[in-house]
A = this chain, B = another copy of it.
Amino acid sequence: MKLGRLNHVGVAVPDMQAAIAYYRDVMGATLITQPFDMPEQGVKVAFVNTPRQPGALGTDGGTQIELIEPLGETSPIAGFIAKNPAGGQHHLCYEVEDIEAAREWFTAQGKRILGPTRIGAHGTPIFFLHPKDMLGQLTEIMERSHEQH
């Protein structure tokens, strides 16, 4: 397997509107997507675009910050927010060309995959890998969108 693009850094936040205001007003983000609910994942999600090119304006497809807010008390990130009430870095997401090949690759490496392959926030198949097998990093693997760029 070849290392793919770092699609996004997942950041868990206790309050989506406050997080959007922070990225807009403190960090100067100019393109933040409308938040949307993913009830089957138990999260509300919005993306902050960062610029791919130095000096560009954040609309050209750099690594995104994915803001994730717990949706409901049984959200899988509720525990993370309880431990990190201000929010914090939650996961790293790398792109692959073929999600099934990636699943086979990590399985063959003895890495624990967390649940079935499912559709992620970008509308393409994803899965997560156990942080204890991944240098302490909760790692998302995402089939890249062939429409995205």
Which of B57, B62, B135 makes the CB contact (< 8 A) with A11?
B135
**At the interface with chain B, which of A45-53, A71-79, A113-121?**
A45-53
Q: Is A41 an interface residue (CB 8 A)?
A: no
Chain B residue, CB-CB nearest to A81: B136
Interface residues of A, dominant DSSP:
loop
Instruction: Report yes or no: B22 in contact with A3, Cβ–Cβ below 8 A.
Output: no
A131 adjacent to B88 (CB under 8 Å): yes
Query: How many chain copies does the complex carry?
Result: 2
Given contacts A3-B23, A4-B55, A89-B89, 6 further A-B contacts (CB under 8 A): A3-B30, A4-B51, A6-B62, A22-B134, A52-B62, A89-B137
Q: Which residues of A contact B (CB under 8 A)?
A: 1-6, 9, 11-13, 19, 22-23, 26-30, 48, 50-58, 62-63, 65, 84, 86-89, 92, 94-95, 97, 106, 109, 111, 131-132, 134-137, 144, 148-149
